[in-house]
């Protein structure tokens, strides 16, 4: 009987453009447009510029576009730069689940490889749908209790989705796809240290380095370099060594509703749990004609009337002086709730 890794490859390679429903094809186009817009917007980000300049200094065959510029470089370097731009503004899309999953990071390597081989539009759509199908399956079915709790970033799962998605572009056979998958996953676990505390600017590279390595694994497999074929279920495989557990029945279940249809677009450039808080704050500002000075004074009144030693710790103390993205989001959520509960909003 075929192992888990082989069955996953069979599932991914069974996706064919001619069998895709119209709404799935349309959604692939929407995901692509959203990612292109975010990458172009993030192309001038300081971290993106540093990464771009470094990659251009290293050189590479000019086969793939660095979006937002007139530059070209090798496909793996383009995947890194464009993925950095995609994360820089924190506007990437997502898939709901127990820990962060941003399937849009499949798109930079898919575009870079597609440009290298001059892929057709049908191949491009098939690759995008495959990437959006595989990555969320690991989010939903692997991790005890989840990857984030074990210290791994959700970007780890790109090591599975990128090789299986791009296999459609390179016309890899099943053995080559499994070889690429094996190399990518073996060298592709991402620790979540950049997502905690005072976040470094290198968090923008969280997905880019991963997808760059996955593209290299693909090109090596195409040349004949082999990788481990039991990279999920083996004794030193992903399920045991990284995730701690894996629901293989869910992971390998037949495709019903395509996962790409479950993905969401961010309205605001903050984490998904901050979307409603930002929207609520903007609605309050619109309704009561407030501005940020009112928001600041509202928070100050709340903190001044609450004794620190007896107050319930709604948020970490660091949230009173936001120095990280997470702290800022928590402050906004706390402030919004405070306004609603205390009726302390001033109106003009």
The whole-angstrom separation of Cα 260 and Cα 136 is: 9
Q: Which helix (H) or strand (E) holds 73?
A: strand 72-73
Range 170-196 average pLDDT: 94
Query: Cα torsion for 144, 150, 153, 156, to the nearest 10°?
Result: -60
What pLDDT is recorded for position 329?
A: 47
* Number of Cβ within a 10 Å radius of residue 256: 6
- The answer on pLDDT for 176 being more than 90 is yes
Lowest-pLDDT range of 91-95, 161-165, 199-203, 342-346: 342-346
What pLDDT is recorded for position 342?
A: 47
Convert the pLDDT of each residue in 70-116 to its tens digit.
999 999 999 999 999 999 999 999 999 999 999 999 999 999 999 99
Convert the pLDDT of each residue in 286-340 to its tens digit.
887 776 666 666 655 655 555 554 444 443 333 333 344 444 444 555 455 454 4
- The answer on pLDDT for 283 being more than 60 is yes
What pLDDT is recorded for position 296?
A: 61
Per-residue DSSP letter, 53 = H
Domain boundaries, given as residue ranges, for the chain: 4-262, 272-342
Give the pLDDT band (50/70/90) at residue 272: confident
What pLDDT is recorded for position 195?
A: 82
Peptide bond into 145 cis (omega under 30): yes
Percent of the chain with pLDDT over 70: 83
Convert the pLDDT of each residue in 23-68 to its tens digit.
999 999 999 999 999 999 999 999 999 999 999 999 999 999 999 9
Determine whether 98 is exposed, middle or buried from the number of CB atoms within 10 Å of its CB (0-12, 13-18, 19+).
Answer: middle
Q: 73 forms bridges with which residues in the sheet?
A: 64
65 — phi, psi (to 5°)? -80, 140
The pair of structure tokens assigned to 302 is 């709340």
In 3D, which of 239, 222, 34, 72 has the Cα closest to residue 152? 239
What pLDDT is recorded for position 299?
A: 55
**Helix residue ranges, H only, 74-146:** 75-88, 107-117, 121-141
pTM for the predicted model, two decimal places: 0.85
What pLDDT is recorded for position 141?
A: 96
- Multiple choice CATH, 4-262, 1.10.10.60, 3.30.470.10, 1.10.4100.10, 3.40.50.150: 1.10.4100.10
Range 200-228 average pLDDT: 97
Give the SS3 label for residue 177.
helix
What pLDDT is recorded for position 197?
A: 77
Contact 131, 159 (CB under 8 A): no
Range 221-228 average pLDDT: 98
- The answer on pLDDT for 255 being more than 90 is yes
Range 186-215 average pLDDT: 92
- The answer on pLDDT for 8 being more than 90 is yes
The pair of structure tokens assigned to 132 is 């959006």
Across the chain, what does the average pLDDT equal?
87
Convert the pLDDT of each residue in 9-32 to its tens digit.
999 999 999 999 999 999 999 999
What pLDDT is recorded for position 311?
A: 44
What pLDDT is recorded for position 1?
A: 82
- The answer on pLDDT for 180 being more than 70 is yes
């Amino acid at each position: 009987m075929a192992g888990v890794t082989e069955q996953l490859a069979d599932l991914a390679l069974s996706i064919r453009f001619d069998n895709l429903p119209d709404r799935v094809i349309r959604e692939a186009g929407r995901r692509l447009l959203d990612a292109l817009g975010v990458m172009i917007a993030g192309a001038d980000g300081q971290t993106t510029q540093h990464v771009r300049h470094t990659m251009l200094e290293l050189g590479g065959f000019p086969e793939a576009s660095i979006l937002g510029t007139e530059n070209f470089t090798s496909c793996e370097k383009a995947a890194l730069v464009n993925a950095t731009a995609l994360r820089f503004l924190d506007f990437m899309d997502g898939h709901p689940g127990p820990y962060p999953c941003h399937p849009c990071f499949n798109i930079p390597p898919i575009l870079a490889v597609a440009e290298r081989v001059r892929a057709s539009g049908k191949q491009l759509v098939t690759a995008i749908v495959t990437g959006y199908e595989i990555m969320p399956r690991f989010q939903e079915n692997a991790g005890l209790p989840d990857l984030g709790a074990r210290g791994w970033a959700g970007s780890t799962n790109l090591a599975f989705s990128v090789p299986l998605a791009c296999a459609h572009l390179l016309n890899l056979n099943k053995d080559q796809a499994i070889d690429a998958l094996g190399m990518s996953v073996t060298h592709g676990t991402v620790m979540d240290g950049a997502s905690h505390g005072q976040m470094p600017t290198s968090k923008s590279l969280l997905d880019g380095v991963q997808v760059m390595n996955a593209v290299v694994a693909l090109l090596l497999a195409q040349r004949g370099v082999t990788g481990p074929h039991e990279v999920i279920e083996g004794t030193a495989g992903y399920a045991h060594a990284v995730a701690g557990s894996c629901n293989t029945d869910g992971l390998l279940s037949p495709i019903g509703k395509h996962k790409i249809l479950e993905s969401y677009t961010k309205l605001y450039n903050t984490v998904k749990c901050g979307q409603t808080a930002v929207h609520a704050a903007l609605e309050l500002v619109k309704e009561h004609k407030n501005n940020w000075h009112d928001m600041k004074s509202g928070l100050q009144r709340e903190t001044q009337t609450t004794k620190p030693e007896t107050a319930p710790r709604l948020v970490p103390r660091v949230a009173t002086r936001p120095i990280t993205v997470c702290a800022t989001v928590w402050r906004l959520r706390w402030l919004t709730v405070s306004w609603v509960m205390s009726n302390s909003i001033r109106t003009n």
